[in-house]
Structure 1
């Protein structure tokens, strides 16, 4: 009895802690991370929620209460174009047959309220048709 209560409590704590860091994805081409009053949102400007192999697609990373100059965006085929007014403009062009799966893992590192924070967006990639 005590073991099952302990296991249930651990499971609930894990779920609550993961909710704060969830990678939200919608059909509109937007991925976001929020923690308190800070956050970052990646918008795929094509309007899709996926990328296309061998096709340069513009994206914006919009930072809220995070200094984009002290942040990093890491992922295959990502080219930073400019950072201005809290928005980092990028172009993503992933060559076909370079990834192990049809998912681009975009890693974000930044300072949030004085502490180093990391998150990851998992963006699906499709082939041209």
Structure 2
């Protein structure tokens, strides 16, 4: 009887550890490409699940805006194709050819209006083969 109780406790401890591990995994998947100022922000999300782009591969990338009007936004960078603006998300596709970059980093410049003033920021996205 005591062995069964010990087995149950070990099993529950194992489940607890697995649950904690899955929580930390979901935290790791949060995008590192975010710009925040006061209550406004823009987050770049690479929709293939990676935190980098791949040369010669079209990849969907969304820009999610919080308290920023997407209509005031300009996005600058090599290989970026605007697909559509829906609600507070600008959907793009990025396809980088190797000869377009000097280094293996795509520099994306964002310009937008925030409280009536022009604001800008940069995202530097790694690009791999």
Q: Unaligned stretches of 5+ in structure 1?
A: 1-25
Look up the match of 2:71: 69
**Structure 1 position 67, deviation (Å):** 0.4
| 1:83 aligned onto 2:85 | yes
Scaled by the length of structure 2, the TM-score of the pair is 0.76
- Residues 82-127 of structure 1, C-alpha deviation per residue, up to 9 Å, x if partnerless? 0011000000000012211000000000001111100000000001
What is the alpha-carbon root mean square deviation over aligned residues? 1.4
| 1:40 aligned onto 2:42 | yes
Report which of the two has the higher share of helix: 2
Scaled by the length of structure 1, the TM-score of the pair is 0.76
Task: Please identify runs of 4+ aligned residues in structure 1 that moved more than 4 A.
Answer: none
**Structure 1 position 29, deviation (Å):** 6.9
Structure of larger gyration radius: 2
Aligned length: 102
